[in-house]
């Protein structure tokens, strides 16, 4: 068989090709978040944004506000709750261009209001880029305007 990304067979991809895919085409929000505990919430978002130069400070500030953690921007990730960390990890996933954003259990530790806001932000940003959203959920579900839903 053939595995294509666009028109390219990925079996011939070199490391630089995969780096390009991750920086420009696929954004990931891992279930285990992969944040830097010794950095602040703002620094965890900004470290990726400096690589991509994708989002402006005002946009990131707005996300912090909407997600209810504006007061945590200068807090160390290691001192924040897991739900707060999930919101920071989402913002970090959004500060890059992408064709697909893949979110693994993104709301497992959020209350319904924060889950709703997170879902709104994800869909707004995906629409801006004309991107697809792939989201997994075992328990909690975000009620969004999904084109397709697969239940396993």
What is the rounded average pLDDT of the residues 73-92? 97
In a domain, 74, yes or no: yes
pLDDT at 52 (0 to 100): 93
Residue 103 lies in a domain: yes
Tokens at 96, concatenated: 């890059």
In a domain, 144, yes or no: no
Looking up residue 81, the CATH number of its domain turns out to be 3.40.50.300
- Paired with 26 in beta bridges are 100
Domain-embedded: residue 27: yes
> Is 96 within a domain?
yes
Per-residue pLDDT of 6-36, as tens digits, reads 899 999 999 999 999 999 999 999 999 999 9
98 assigned to some structural domain: yes
Q: Is residue 149 part of a domain?
A: no
Of the chain, the end-to-end C-alpha distance in Å amounts to: 25
**DSSP per residue, the chain:** ---EETTEEGGG--HHHHHHHHHHTEEEE-TT----TTSBHHHHHHHHHHHH--S-HHHHHHHHHHTT-GGGTTSBGGGS-HHHHHHHHHHHHHSS--SEEEEESTTTT--HHHHHHHHHHHHHHHHHHT-EEEEE-SS-------S-----
- Average of pLDDT values for 55-62? 98
Range of the domain at 116: 13-136
Q: Is the pLDDT of residue 152 over 80?
A: no
| Per-chain mean pLDDT for the chain | 93
User: How many domains is the chain built from?
Assistant: 1
90 is a domain residue: yes
């Amino acid at each position: 068989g053939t595995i294509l990304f666009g028109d390219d067979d990925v079996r011939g991809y070199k490391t630089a090709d995969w780096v390009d895919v991750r920086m420009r085409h696929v954004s990931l929000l891992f279930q285990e978040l992969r944040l830097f505990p010794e950095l602040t919430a703002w620094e965890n978002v900004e470290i990726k944004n400096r690589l991509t130069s994708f989002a402006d400070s005002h946009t990131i500030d707005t996300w912090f506000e909407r997600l209810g953690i504006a007061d945590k921007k200068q807090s160390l990730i290691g001192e924040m709750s897991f739900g707060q960390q999930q919101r920071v990890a989402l913002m970090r996933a959004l500060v890059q261009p992408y064709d697909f954003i893949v979110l693994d259990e993104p709301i497992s530790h959020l209350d319904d209001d924060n889950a709703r806001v997170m879902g709104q932000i994800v869909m707004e940003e995906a629409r801006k880029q004309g991107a697809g959203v792939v989201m997994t959920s075992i328990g909690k579900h975000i009620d969004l305007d999904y084109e397709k839903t697969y239940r396993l």
